[in-house]
Amino acid sequence: MTHTPSRPAYTRLASTFSRLHRLGHLASLAHWDQAAMMPPKGNDARGAALAELDVLMHGMMTAPELAGLLAEADTESVGEFERANLSEMRRAWERANALPASLVEAQALAHSRCEHAWRSQRPANDWAGFRENLREVVRLSREEGQRLAGLGGGSVYEALMNKYEPGMRCDRLDAVFGAMRDWLPDLIARIRDKQAGETVVAAQGPFPIETQRALGLDVMEMLGFDFAAGRLDVSNHPFCGGVPEDVRITTRYEEGDFLQSLLGIIHETGHARYEQNLPREWLGQPAGLARSMGIHESQSLSFEMQLGRSRGFLGLLAPRLRARFGDQPAFETENLIRLCTRVEPGFIRVDADEASYPAHVILRYEIERALMDGDIEVDDIPALWDEKMSRYLGVDTRGNYRNGCMQDIHWTTGGFGYFPSYTLGALYAAQYFATLRTATPDLDQRIVNGELSVVFDWLKDAIWSQASRWSTAELVERATGEALDPRHFRAHLEARYLGGVA
In the set 1, 3, 4, 41, which binds its own copies (CB under 8 A)? 41
CB of 78 vs its own copies, minimal distance in Å: 24
Interacting stretch for its own copies, rule CB under 8 A, among 48-56, 67-75, 385-393, 480-488? Answer: 48-56
CB of 61 to its own copies, least distance (A): 14
Q: Across-strand partners of 230?
A: 247
Is 31 among the residues that bind its own copies (CB under 8 A)? no
Measured distance CA(462)–CA(479) in Å, rounded: 5
Of the candidates 132, 198, 245, 442, which one interacts with its own copies according to CB under 8 A? 245
Distance from the first to the final alpha carbon of the chain: 52
Alpha carbons 95 and 110: distance in angstroms, whole number: 20
If the CB atoms of residues 230 and 420 are measured against its own copies, the closer one turns out to be: 230
Sign of the C-alpha dihedral computed for residues 46, 231, 415 and 360 taken in this order: negative
Which stretch of DSSP H or E encloses residue 53? helix 43-61
Q: Residue 451 interacts with its own copies (CB under 8 A)?
A: no
Interface with its own copies, residue 196, by CB under 8 A: no
Is position 268 an interface residue for its own copies (rule: CB under 8 A)?
Answer: no
49 scored as a contact of its own copies (CB under 8 A):
yes
The catalytically annotated residue of 82, 158, 165, 268 is 268
Binding residues for its own copies, total number by CB under 8 A: 36
Residue 72 within binding range of its own copies, rule CB under 8 A: no
Does 22 contact its own copies by CB under 8 A? yes
Which of 58, 83, 113, 231 is the binder for its own copies (CB under 8 A)?
A: 231
Active-site residue 377, yes or no? no
Q: Does 490 bind its own copies (CB under 8 A)?
A: no
37 makes contact with its own copies (CB under 8 A) = yes
- By the rule CB under 8 A, 44 interacts with its own copies: yes
Long-range contacts of 311-314 (CB under 8 A, 24+ apart): 311/337, 311/444, 311/448, 311/501, 311/502, 312/444, 312/445, 312/446, 312/447, 312/448, 313/447, 313/452, 314/340
Binding of its own copies by 226 (CB under 8 A): yes
Question: By rule CB under 8 A, what string of x and - marks binding of each residue 145-184 to its own copies?
Answer: ----------------------------------------
Q: If you compute the radius of gyration of the chain from its CA atoms, what whole number of angstroms results? A: 23
Widest Cα–Cα separation across the chain: 71
CB 255 within 8 A of CB 206: yes
Minimum Å gap between C-beta 37 and its own copies is 7
Figure out which of the listed residues 144, 165, 246, 268 binds its own copies, where binding follows CB under 8 A: 246
Closest CA to 194 of 478, 502, 500: 500
The one segment of 224-232, 293-301, 383-391, 400-408 that binds its own copies by CB under 8 A: 224-232
List 11, 12, 46, 470, residue binding its own copies (CB under 8 A): 46
| 61 part of the interface to its own copies, by CB under 8 A | no
Return the residue of 11, 12, 53, 454 that touches its own copies, per CB under 8 A: 53
Rounded least distance, CB 16 to its own copies, Å: 12
Phi, psi for residue 327 in degrees, rounded to 5: -80, 145
**Segment lying near its own copies (by CB under 8 A), choices 26-34, 163-171, 423-431, 479-487:** 26-34
What strands, in cross-sheet order, belong to the sheet with 230-234?
Answer: 230-234, 246-251, 240-243
Residue 144's CB: how many other CB atoms inside 10 A?
Answer: 24
Q: What are phi and psi of 349, to 5 degrees?
A: -60, -50
Instruction: Report the residue from 45, 202, 348, 350 that binds its own copies according to the rule CB under 8 A.
Output: 45
Phi and psi based region of residue 26 (left: phi greater than 0; alpha: psi -120 to 50; beta: remaining): alpha
The Cα 352–Cα 346 span in angstroms is 7
Rounded to whole angstroms, the Cα distance separating 267 from 240 reads 9
Question: CA-CA distance, 18 to 282, in Å (whole number)?
Answer: 10
Q: Is 54 in the site for its own copies (CB under 8 A)?
A: no
The DSSP code for 257 is B
Which residues make up the interface to its own copies (CB under 8 A)?
19, 22-23, 25-27, 29-30, 33, 37-42, 44-46, 48-53, 56, 226-231, 242-243, 245-246, 283
Which residue numbers are catalytic? 268
